[in-house]
A and B are shown apart, each in its own frame.
Chain A
Amino acid sequence: MEDNHIITLDHISKSFGDSLIVDDISLFIKKGEFVTFLGPSGCGKTTTLRMISGFEMPSKGRVLLNGKDVTNLPPYKRPINTVFQRYALFPHLDVYDNVAFGLKLKKVPVVIKKRNGKEVTKMKHLPAKVIDQKVARALKIVDLEDLEDRSIDTLSGGQQQRVAIARAIVNEPEILLLDEPLGALDLKMRKEMQLELKEMHKKLGITFIYVTHDQEEALTMSDTIVVMKSGVVQQIGTPTQIYNEPQNAFVADFIGESNIYSANMVDKRKVRFLNWTWDCVDDFEINENVDVVVRPEDVILMGPRTTNLIGTIKSKIFKGVHYEYTVIVGKSELQARDTRDLKVDSHVSIKIDPQNIQIMKKQYNINAFYDAYITKDNKVAMTDDEFECDLTQLLPGSKIDDDGYLVKNGVRYNLTDAPVAVEIEIKAIALSDDISASEVHGVIINSIWKGDYYQVLVRSSSEEDYIIDTQDSWNINDIVSIIVKKDDIKLRLKGDISKYEEDA
C-alpha cells in the first residue's frame, strides 16, 4: 500500500436485484489527482462514485480511504463531500445557510480550563464567527460574494452550481466528488465552469473525483481518466494515453472520432485491413485477428497514385477549420479530415503513417460494431448487414408509431441514418445452413474448439466479422445464415437523441 493512495477500490461489485451494475472493479486514486470516471449512461460510473461517498454499500469488495477500510462507514462520517448532478441545494434555506449547513453540524475538540486548573477536551460546535469567515471564503472562491442572503430559487443555474460547490468545499473535504455537475448548464457556461473547476482543483489541492459521460469534458479536465462500460473498467490512463493508445475498440470509439476495423496481422509489423496491407509499429503475433483504430485527422488524402490504397469521396461536411470527408474504400467507409476542399466523387489515395495505426487486441467476449446505422425501415445495418432491432431501447418509455417514428410524450424522432454502436452477445447469434433463414449470410473463416463449445468466426458478405459460441461444428468456408433475435441487439446512439427530433 503506497502512502499517496487516498482511495483504493478492492474488487468491488454492486448489484441491484439481479442486475450487476459494477463488476469487480479494482483501482486506486492518488492524493491530489483529478480523476474522471467516463462512460455511457448505465456503465456503473455513478454507482462507483456513490460507493466512494458511502450512499451505496458494495455487494462485494472493500473501499479503502487512506489505507483504512471504510466500506461500512456511513457518508456522514467520511471526509468526502459531493456536488450533486442537479445540485440538491436546500430550497428552504438561503445561500448562506446552504453553505454553512455542514459547518453548523461540525464539532471540534476544544480544550477548556476548569476552575481547579484541570484541562478537559470537549466537543463543541464551531463559533458563529468562524463559520461566517469560512462561508465568506468559500463564496469568494466560487465568485458569489454578494449573494449570501439570496434564496436558492432566485439564482441562475450557474449560480446554483457555484453554491453547490461552495457548500461542498467549505467543509474542507479530503476528496470532492462531482457527479455530472455541469450536465444542466448550457454549452458556454459549461466550458467556463470546466476551466474554473480545473483552476479550483489546483488552488485547493484536494482530490477531485469527477463523473461524466462527456468525453470532451473528461479530456479537458482530468489528470487520469477511468473509462467504464457495463460495470467494467475498460482503460485507465492520462487523457493522452486514452486518446492515442486506446486499449480496445470501445474506448477508441467512445473517445473522439475514429475509424475502427477488424484486421489481421499478416506479417511482422504488417497489418491488413481495408483490403490493403499497412506497415505498423505494434508487435502482434502473425495471423492474429486484431482491431485497428485510425483517427480521422491521421488519414492523409492525396491525389490518386497506384502505390496507395484508392478510395472515392462520398460526402463532405465543412466544419470551419477543416472538412470532414467520408471516403468509400471497397465496401467500407473511412472518415478523414482535411483542410483542403476536395470534390465529391473524386478518387483519392489514402496514406496512414505507421505510428498512427493503433492496433488493439480483439475482444472475443462480445460482438461490437461501432459504425452501424439505422435504416429507413427501422432496422440496424452493419455496412450492408441489416437486422431487425428494437429502437425503443434508445429512449426508455418510447414507442414506435404507425408511421415508423420513435415517439415519446408526443415528440417524434426520425432515426433514419442515425449512427449507432451495436453490441451482440456471442451466445446470442445463431447460425443456420438454411440460406433462407436470414437475409444476412456469411462464410465461416475460423472455428476453434474451446473445450465444450466451438468459437466460430463468420465473415459476412459485407465483410463484417461475427464471433459466435456454438455447440455445432462448422467447416471453414461453409456458407451460413446469420440469425440474431430482435431483443438481443443492444444499441447505443452516438450523440444525443434530441438531435433527431422531428419538427412538428
Chain B
Amino acid sequence: MKRTLRFQRKYLCIPYVVFLVLFIVLPIVLIIFYAFTDNKGFFSFDALVDFFTTPTKISILLNSVFIALQTTIICLIISYPLAYFLANKKFNRNGVLITLFIMPMWINFVLRTGATRDLLTWLGINGGKVPYLATLIGMVYNYLPFTVLPLYTTMLKLDRSQIEAASDLGATPFQVFLRNIIPQSLPGVVSAATMVFMPTMSSYVISDTLSEGKITLFGNSIYISFSNSQWNTGSFLALIMLIIIFLSMLVTHRFSREPEARGGTW
C-alpha cells in the first residue's frame, strides 16, 4: 500500500469514542460487576438473594411500576385531546400555545416540584395526609409536557385527507376516531408513554418531596443505597432498572416508528 497517513475526518471521533467508553460503557460494566460481588470484591449473589427475599424491596418495585403506569395513563388521557386540539390551526395559530405548554420546563425542575408541593399543602392535599395522591399529582404535573410534545408532533402529521375520506364514506366521528386517528397516532402515544414511564419509576425528587418522604419508589431506593454507600445493593438495583429499560425498549421498538422522537422534541 502506498497510502500516506493523511488527516482523515473519521479520526475526529476518537475523543468522543474514548469518552463514551470511559464514562458510559465502563460504568455499566462496573455496575454489573458490583451487582454480583460483595463489599470485599468477591463474587456473590448476596444482593440478588437479598432483593428477592426482602418483601419490602419487591413491593417497592411493584409500587413503582404501578404508580408509573397510573401516571402514564393519566398523562396520556389529559394530553391526547390536548395535542389533538393544539394540532388544529383553528386553536393554535403560529404554534404559540404549544410554546406555552413547554415553557414551564425551562424553570428549574426542583423549584417547580417545591411549588407544586406548596400549592397542594395550601389546598390541603397534604403529603403527610395523602402521600400517594400528592405524589401522583406531582408526577402528572411534571411529566405532562413530555407527553404533549410527541403527541402534538404526530398529530401534526396526521393524514387529514384520510380522515375526511373516512367521514365522506359514511363513518361516524367515533368510527373515524377509532379506525383512523388512533392507529395513525399510535407511534406518538408509544413515544409519549416511554417518556413518562421510565422517568417516573426512577424519579427521586418528586416522590421524596411530595410524599414528604413517606413513599419510597425505585429511584428513592437507589438514592438511599447511594447515601449509605451501599455500592453492591445500589448496583444491583440499577441493574434491575437497566433490565426493565431494556425490556421496555424492546416492546416499544415494535410500535414506534420514530426511534429518535425523544431527541427531536426539543
Measuring CB to CB, which residues of chain A are less than 8 angstroms from any residue of chain B?
Answer: 57, 71-72, 74
A280 to B199, CA, bound (A): 85
Q: How far is the CB of B49 from chain A (nearest CB, A)?
A: 51
Report chain B residues within 8 Å CB of A74.
6
List B121-146 residues whose CB lies under 8 Å from chain A: none
* B254 interface hit (Cβ, 8 Å): no
What residues of chain A lie closer than 8 Å to B2, measured between beta carbons?
57, 71-72
Does B40 make an interface contact (CB < 8 A)?
A: no
Of the A-B pairs whose beta carbons lie under 8 Å apart in the complex, a sample of 7, sorted by A's number, is A57-B2, A57-B3, A71-B2, A72-B2, A72-B3, A72-B4, A74-B6
Number of interface residues of B (CB under 8 A): 4
Report A-chain residues with C-beta under 8 Å of the C-beta of B4: 72
Q: How far is the CB of A63 from chain B (nearest CB, A)?
A: 11
Q: Which residue of B lies closest to A74 (CB)?
A: B6
**Interface SS, B side:** loop
Tell me, rounded to whole Å, the shortest Cβ–Cβ distance linking A323 to chain B.
Answer: 47
When distances are taken between beta carbons in the complex, the residues of chain B under 8 Å from A57 are 2-3
Please provide the 7 A-B residue pairs with the shortest distance between their CB atoms, ordered closest to farther: A72-B4, A72-B2, A57-B3, A74-B6, A71-B2, A57-B2, A72-B3
Q: What's the minimum C-beta distance from A319 to chain B, rounded to whole angstroms?
A: 43
Closest Cβ of chain A to B140, distance in Å, is 42
Chain A residue with Cβ nearest B7: A74
CB distance from B143 to the nearest CB of A (A): 38
Mark each residue of chain B from 231 to 250: 1 if its CB lies under 8 Å from any CB of chain A, else 0: 00000000000000000000
CA distance A74 to B4 in the complex (A): 10
User: With the chains together, A307 CA to B48 CA distance in Å?
Assistant: 100
Shortest Cβ distance from A149 into chain B, in angstroms?
A: 32
B90 to chain A minimum Cβ distance, whole angstroms, is 31
In the complex the two chains form, what is the Cα distance from A406 to B82 in whole Å?
A: 43
Nearest-neighbor residue (CB-CB) of A61 within chain B: B2
* Shortest beta-carbon distance from A15 to chain B in Å: 12
Nearest CB to that of A57 among chain B residues?
B3
Closest B residue to A58 by beta carbon equals: B2
Complex alpha-carbon distance, A96 and B44, angstroms: 71
Q: Could you tell me the distance in whole angstroms from the C-beta of A266 to the nearest C-beta in chain B?
A: 52
Give B10 Cβ to nearest chain A Cβ, in Å. 15
- Which residue of chain A has its CB nearest to the CB of B4? A72
Interface code B1-30, partner A: CB below 8 Å = 1, 0 otherwise? 011101000000000000000000000000
Least distance between B172 CB and chain A CB atoms (Å): 30
Q: Which residue of B lies closest to A69 (CB)?
A: B2
> Interface readout for B33-70 with A: 1 if CB under 8 Å, 0 if not?
00000000000000000000000000000000000000
Nearest CB of chain A from residue B9's CB, rounded to whole Å: 13
**What distance in Å separates the Cβ of B2 from its nearest Cβ neighbour in chain A?**
6
Q: Contacts of B3 on A, CB cut-off 8 Å?
A: 57, 72
CB contacts (< 8 Å) of A71 on chain B: these are 2
Complex Cα distance, B2 from A57, in Å, reads 9
Best-surrounded residue of B2, B3, B4, B6 (most CB of chain A within 10 A): B2
